[in-house]
Amino acid sequence: MLVLVSALVAGGAEGLTQRYAPFGELIIAHLDSAPFPHPSRAQGHQYNDQVFSAAEHYADNTVAIFIPKGFREGARIDFVVHFHGWKNHVETVLGQYQLIEQLAASGRNAVLVVPQGPRDASDSFGGKLEDPGGFERFMNDVAATLRTQSGLKQKDFTLGNVILSGHSGGYQVIGSILDHGGLTDHVAEVWLFDGLYARTDQFLAWFDARHGRLIHLYTEHGGTKAETERLMARLKNRGTEFLAAKEADLKPDDLKNHRLVFIYTALEHNDVIHKHEAFKDFAASSGLSPRP
pLDDT tens column, 132-176: 999 999 999 999 999 999 999 999 999 999 999 999 999 999 999
Backbone angles phi, psi at 112, to 5 degrees: -95, 135
> Angle CA(212)–CA(114)–CA(156) in degrees, nearest 5?
75
pLDDT one-digit tens code per residue, 77-123 = 999 999 999 999 999 999 999 999 999 999 999 999 999 999 999 99
Fold of the CATH domain 2-284: Rossmann fold (3.40.50)
pTM of the predicted model as reported, rounded to 2 decimal places:
0.95
**Cα distances (Å, whole numbers) of residue 15 to 27, 84, 95:** 11, 21, 12
CA 246 to chain centre: 23
Domain boundaries, the chain: 2-284
